[in-house]
Structure 1
Amino acid sequence: MTFTPYDILLVLAAVTALALAILAWHRKLNRGATSFALLMLAVALWCSGHIMEMSAADLSGKIFWADIQFIAIVSIPVFWIAFILPYTGQTARLPLNRAVCLSIVPAVSLVMAWTNNLHGFFFSNSEIITKNNFSFLIRTFNTGFWIHSFYSYLLLLIGTILLIRTILRTSNPYRGRSVLLLAGALTPWACNALYIFRIEPFAYFDLTPFGFTLSGLLFGLGIFQFHFLDIVPIAYDTVFHNMNEGLILLDPGSRIINLNPAARKILDVKTSEAIGAQVTEVFSRWPDLLEGYRGHNMNYDFEFKKNNSGLIYNVAVSHLYMKKILRGYLITMRDITAHKKSETELRKSEEMFKALSENASDIIYTLDADGSFSYVNPAWKKILGYSRQETLGMYFIEFTRKEDSERSVQIFRELIKDRRVFTDTIIKLQHKDGSIRVFTGSASPNIDAAGKIIGITGSLKDLTDQQKLATELQQAHKMEAVGTLASAIVHDFNNIFMAIQGNISLIRKRIDQEEYAYQKIRNIEQSVDKGTELTRQLLSFVLGSQYVVTPTNLNDIVRRTSNMFSSGSKQIKIYKHYQNNLWLVDLDPVQVGKVLMNIYKNAAEAMDGKGELYVGTKNITLGTHFVKPFRAVSGKYVEISIRDTGCGMSEEIKQKIFEPFFTTREPGKGSGLGLSFARAVA
């Protein structure tokens, strides 16, 4: 086996093809890279087989290696078309069923070539010819070979035509690299033609492997220098021409290289007029557009008036760099008319919302998606006392009672997660002064254009005064019922008690004080006194008390009543605090004294007759907001505070303490009218 300089060149070609195959294989995720790798691998096999053929000394050895080469020869056209189709955008990759169909003729050709000695359909008259110290295998090509050649050339021709069509696209900025591919595609054609048609001086040298190797080098330049498998030209062409935005491609000198149909429509220019012209010339018809570009604004808006209609476009100018060298500019013109219109409508809607909410008597608020306040209208401060600065950024539950916080969190979760809408929901919030305000609330989630919940909008209607009015009305109805009952029986009871009292007094005068009956009669008298007092209280409800109002110092009444109560309740210690220079109050001293005594008695009962009682007076000034629920006028007031060390009352009892005949004492130990009377007097 002898190697010649020609063989060495073949070895270099094989190594080059193999290296290109390996490099392309590493880029197999890109379109066409796998087919290109297989194409170069086939070329390497062809070169290697040709080396062995040229080195073989006998006819059988040359025929064997020639048949080995045929594996590559029949495969290369299929791999070529599989590479070109994705590159030119005909398909993402060659489907398997089509690849099988394309491989039928090559597979049959390979079998026929390997079994040629049985039928001679491919070759005949095989012989070795020696020329210029080279020995060549010469065979006569028969019908089968020409069928194979026709099919192979057909695939190569289809791929070449697709490449030419890509090059002829005037909008394609990748034309230079496509020309490299075309040159690579035509080289094997020329080399194979020299071999088949025995053209001197290469009549017997099969230069086709060298041609495909040269093709591979040109393709490799495109792959590794220009990355044409990373940016598919047809993909660029499709995207560039089909984008709705206007695109204008400029060179570094601001001359127009290309513009897509959308840009031509916006600027109302023809391609022939725009290509090669300075962009400032094309923009000169629209001063605002030109001024923005000359001002080196990278992003600006301008209004384009055409056919009595105004369109607004956003213009973005991008620099195009390659290896840190400025290669040109890309101008993008996007129609934002609808967006601007939406912005205007949204602004008007927000202004209308603000105008309505700022003047609304009910509270209107918005929360962010995390539950913090992003807006409250003036009614929030008016009703709850918190300013906007104190409220914004705070969480809704920070204004609720502790016992209501869990329910508030549950409502918030249902609003955000379930997108539920709440209406007429009772909510209790704390006023800045610590009092509780009752509201009926409505809330719904805020949803943006993308369908995402960005917050909550809600309203609160204050029901506190309304509820207090309803409670007072209910109390009035109860008092009316008591009055109806009392009016029917109070006078009869009073007459009966007077008759009993008179007769008992006469009997008591005739009985010795030491007798047993005397003490029992005294008990009867005390019971009659209690009954008389009860009828007097009932009579006050029915007829109303006659008040004698005089300017009075409440310190005097508190001092007198507390001393009177203290003398009969030795186990209760009373602590007193009197305001100096206490303001005078117009009141009935007798009625107020009765009220205080009733309250002292209730306190004693709550402490089981033993404990501490704190009584005090104080000058206070009440504002309009505080007195509004009580339908009183603002101004100067005198406060009486009474506090005991008893066990306290539950919420349920607090709701009933002013109801007539309601008592927590055992039957027969309380009338249930004490606090009702106190409230009526107050």
Structure 2
Amino acid sequence: MLTRAIRNSLGNKSKKEDNLFWNKIRVPLVRISREGYMLSYNQAFAELLNIPPEVLAGLNFFDNPYRILDSVNQETLAHKRGQDVTIESYWRRGDSGFLYVKEHFTVDEDEGYWVYLEDETEKRRLRRSLEITEEKFRFVIDQVPVGIYRIITTGEIVFANQYLAQLFGFKSGDELQGKTAKDLFRYPPEYETLLQAAIKQKQSTFHYEFSYTTLDGKKLWLEDTAHIFYDTSDEMLFYDGIIQNITEKKQIENDIKRLLTAFTQISEAIVITDTRGFIIYSNPALERMTGYSATELYGKNMNIFRSGVHSRDFYRNMWNNILHGINWEGTIINKRKGGDLYTEYMVITPVKNDEGQILNFVAVKRDMSEVLKLEDKLRHSQKLQAIGTLAGGIAHDFNNILMGMQIYTEVLLKRLSPQSFEHEIAGKIYESQNRGKELIRQILSFSRPGTEEKAPLAIHTIVKETIKLIKNAFPATIHVSENIEDCGQILANPTHIHQIVMNLCTNAHDAMQGHGTLTVELKRKSQITGPFKGLHLTGQEWICLSVADTGCGIDEKIRSRIFDPFFTTKQVGEGTGLGLSIVQGIVKDYGGEIFFDSKVGEGTIFYVYLPVR
């Protein structure tokens, strides 16, 4: 022992040399009698205890107010009295504080003991600090809401925290120590394959999600994230991991997927913006509505849709509402990517957090263009119905008056001399009355298009006969081209077919102003073709009559009005404005459709589709 070595060294020196060497030793040493009285001590001993020399010299080593010895060490010392022994004790320093020391006793055969004091205060403090830190660490580890583990190369769990134990139905992490991860976690077969692949590739991290069924049958989704440690030869030592219960997260993800699927499939356009109006989400319906893709819109402001139609006050009122947490809804005119304007109905809803703070705005949009068109058509149809009813009533009364006038005119023509001037005047009156009768017939035909009986009819024969009449009536400067196919029979009235062809050809004649080409075609088709092929009228057989001219075309401004009754672009006395109205009425009564395509300065083509029944 150290004290024995020092004692032997001192034994070989003189008294003076003894004292000099004794004080130079930096190890705290004291020589005591067997009863405990201090015979001598070195400077290091005095400095360690910091007890005044006059007090220190009179102390009994075994029994003094500065030394504290517990019962265990007292018993050890008593039992080993007269032998070399090491015990632990506390010493109260002369100034303040306590020292934790180890007392190494070496028997001195002559006078008692050599005692070497080893100061363990700092070691004990550090050890206790480490113990406290470990306790705190363990406490924290057990409190965190994730499972924490360490697994060694054999697959054995050597550490697990409280949360992990409770997650798998155990009371404490100590119960998991010694169990294999494979048996506890019941990973899917692919887990081990992926883990070994990660180790083979010397990856430092490993991530895996798997489902786990608890003993009571509850299904959980768990996320395992591990950090793999290797030795200097790149062999795996162990891996520390965190297992999180992500069941709720998975449920939220599934809810979000379902919600996004609904957003994707819904016909209404949905836009989500931040509080400044910058777009962070848009569904496919918005792309169909505006022409902008989701990528193009992301990060753009909603003013990208502004049409310039609405005033600043309009938008100021909208923003004032939604910034105060109030829903805004209304009709707004916006602009598509191509620049054309459209009308939409929009509802903007502020999204708030639990504190009532606005986080986002959600706008639900519906394109009202088709609805407005249908409303216009409905209003137009109601207007036509009202006009037809009024015109029919007037025409009926006027026809009764005209009939009386014709009877009297016929009487005059019979009594007057055919060579007289009066007979000529009466004849002109009679002709005017006939024109009036024709006009009344057209008005009545417009107001009651479906009154005539229909029968199976080979439509191509009527079209050919009408074209023959047209060729004779039109001037030679108008070339008439025809391509008439035998399309079979349909339920129709010959007069109606004649009216359709005659009115369309007459309008073509007037548009060409005596020069040009008139083309009439009759074909059987299985669907709508031409400029209107996107319409829904498919899935059945159709007879298509097309009448094309090389005239002046129809101005864009009046295209929406050409089927209105009594609308005409001809001079007064040259037309009644009922021709196309009558044609449309007949076609609709037959369950068909009439369209046209026109270019100003190039000509117009009308398509009449009649269903084969």
Q: Structure 2-normalised TM-score?
A: 0.50
Q: Match for 1:605 among 507, 510, 518?
A: 510
Q: Match for 2:443 among 535, 538, 547?
A: 538
What letter matches 1:313 in structure 2?
Answer: L
1:288 aligns with 2:197: no
CA deviation profile, 1:301-360 (whole Å, cap 9, x unmatched): 353637886654333443124667444211211112212443565677789x69x97xxx
SS in 1 for 2:509: helix
The structural deviation recorded for 1:615 is 0.8
Q: Match for 2:305 among 404, 407, 410?
A: 410
- Rounded to whole Å, the distance in 1 between the matches of 2:365 and 2:122 is 63
What letter matches 1:584 in structure 2?
Answer: Q
- Rounded to whole Å, the distance in 2 between the matches of 1:674 and 1:497 is 25
1:168 aligns with 2:131: yes
CA deviation profile, 1:600-627 (whole Å, cap 9, x unmatched): 222222223332211111123459x999
CA deviation profile, 1:276-312 (whole Å, cap 9, x unmatched): x4342x875x462698987775635353637886654
CA deviation profile, 1:554-595 (whole Å, cap 9, x unmatched): 343333323323333315523333344442344333443233
1:329 aligns with 2:239: yes
1:562 aligns with 2:467: yes
Partner of 1:659: 564
The alpha-carbon distance between structure 1 residues 162 and 603, as it changes in their structure 2 partners (threshold 3 A), is farther
Partner of 1:181: none
SS in 2 for 1:168: helix
Partner of 2:403: 494
The structural deviation recorded for 1:158 is 13
What letter matches 1:604 in structure 2?
Answer: H
**Greater shift in the superposed pair: 477-486 or 307-316:** 307-316
The alpha-carbon distance between structure 1 residues 567 and 577, as it changes in their structure 2 partners (threshold 3 A), is closer
1:639 aligns with 2:582: no
Q: Contact 2:346 / 2:364 at 8 angstroms: preserved in 1?
A: no
Partner of 1:319: 228
Matches within 5 A, 1:199-598: 243-252=144-153, 258-266=159-167, 268=170, 270=172, 277-280=177-180, 286=184, 288=186, 297=195, 299-303=208-212, 305=214, 311-321=220-230, 325=234, 326-342=236-252, 410=305, 471-500=380-409, 503=412, 509-511=418-420, 526-540=431-445, 547=452, 549=454, 551-570=456-475, 572-598=477-503
CA deviation profile, 1:75-97 (whole Å, cap 9, x unmatched): xxxxxxxxxxxxxxxxxxxxxxx
CA deviation profile, 1:95-119 (whole Å, cap 9, x unmatched): xxxxxxxxxxxxxxxxxxxxxxxxx
What letter matches 1:288 in structure 2?
Answer: R
Q: Contact 2:150 / 2:160 at 8 angstroms: preserved in 1?
A: yes
What letter matches 2:163 in structure 1?
Answer: A
- Rounded to whole Å, the distance in 1 between the matches of 2:426 and 2:233 is 121
The structural deviation recorded for 1:269 is 5.1
RMSD, matched Cα:
6.0
Q: Contact 2:160 / 2:174 at 8 angstroms: preserved in 1?
A: no
- Rounded to whole Å, the distance in 2 between the matches of 1:500 and 1:603 is 36
- Rounded to whole Å, the distance in 2 between the matches of 1:370 and 1:508 is 93
1:618 aligns with 2:561: no
The alpha-carbon distance between structure 1 residues 661 and 552, as it changes in their structure 2 partners (threshold 3 A), is same
SS in 1 for 2:418: helix
What letter matches 2:148 in structure 1?
Answer: L
The structural deviation recorded for 1:481 is 1.9
The alpha-carbon distance between structure 1 residues 465 and 289, as it changes in their structure 2 partners (threshold 3 A), is same
What letter matches 1:493 in structure 2?
Answer: L
The alpha-carbon distance between structure 1 residues 287 and 244, as it changes in their structure 2 partners (threshold 3 A), is closer
The structural deviation recorded for 1:468 is 5.8
- Rounded to whole Å, the distance in 2 between the matches of 1:462 and 1:273 is 70
What letter matches 2:305 in structure 1?
Answer: Q
The structural deviation recorded for 1:647 is 2.7
Q: Contact 1:487 / 1:542 at 8 angstroms: preserved in 2?
A: no
- Rounded to whole Å, the distance in 2 between the matches of 1:614 and 1:164 is 109
Q: Contact 2:223 / 2:246 at 8 angstroms: preserved in 1?
A: yes
Q: Contact 2:346 / 2:366 at 8 angstroms: preserved in 1?
A: yes
The alpha-carbon distance between structure 1 residues 453 and 293, as it changes in their structure 2 partners (threshold 3 A), is farther
More strand by share: 2
- Rounded to whole Å, the distance in 2 between the matches of 1:508 and 1:373 is 86
More helix by share: 1
The alpha-carbon distance between structure 1 residues 255 and 458, as it changes in their structure 2 partners (threshold 3 A), is farther
- Rounded to whole Å, the distance in 2 between the matches of 1:505 and 1:160 is 149
The structural deviation recorded for 1:496 is 2.6
- Rounded to whole Å, the distance in 2 between the matches of 1:472 and 1:531 is 27
What letter matches 1:601 in structure 2?
Answer: T
Q: Contact 2:464 / 2:484 at 8 angstroms: preserved in 1?
A: no
Q: Contact 2:305 / 2:334 at 8 angstroms: preserved in 1?
A: no
The alpha-carbon distance between structure 1 residues 608 and 499, as it changes in their structure 2 partners (threshold 3 A), is farther
Q: Structure 1-normalised TM-score?
A: 0.46
Matches within 5 A, 1:661-676: 661-676=566-581
Q: Contact 1:442 / 1:460 at 8 angstroms: preserved in 2?
A: no
- Rounded to whole Å, the distance in 1 between the matches of 2:473 and 2:191 is 99
Q: Contact 1:662 / 1:673 at 8 angstroms: preserved in 2?
A: yes
The alpha-carbon distance between structure 1 residues 534 and 262, as it changes in their structure 2 partners (threshold 3 A), is same
The alpha-carbon distance between structure 1 residues 627 and 366, as it changes in their structure 2 partners (threshold 3 A), is closer
- Rounded to whole Å, the distance in 2 between the matches of 1:575 and 1:324 is 97
The structural deviation recorded for 1:677 is 2.9
Aligned residues: 414
- Rounded to whole Å, the distance in 1 between the matches of 2:166 and 2:547 is 87
Matches within 5 A, 1:101-250: 166-169=129-132, 171=134, 243-250=144-151
Q: Contact 1:552 / 1:585 at 8 angstroms: preserved in 2?
A: yes
SS in 1 for 2:386: helix
The alpha-carbon distance between structure 1 residues 601 and 295, as it changes in their structure 2 partners (threshold 3 A), is closer
What letter matches 1:494 in structure 2?
Answer: M
What letter matches 2:228 in structure 1?
Answer: H
The alpha-carbon distance between structure 1 residues 253 and 470, as it changes in their structure 2 partners (threshold 3 A), is same
Q: Contact 1:500 / 1:528 at 8 angstroms: preserved in 2?
A: no
Where structure 1 has 5 or more consecutive residues not aligned to the other structure, the ranges are: 1-148, 151-156, 173-233, 377-393, 401-406, 430-437
The alpha-carbon distance between structure 1 residues 318 and 661, as it changes in their structure 2 partners (threshold 3 A), is same
What letter matches 1:678 in structure 2?
Answer: V
SS in 2 for 1:485: helix
CA deviation profile, 1:199-218 (whole Å, cap 9, x unmatched): xxxxxxxxxxxxxxxxxxxx
Q: Percent identity?
A: 17
Q: Contact 1:371 / 1:396 at 8 angstroms: preserved in 2?
A: no
The structural deviation recorded for 1:253 is 5.3
Q: Contact 2:270 / 2:362 at 8 angstroms: preserved in 1?
A: no
What letter matches 2:164 in structure 1?
Answer: A
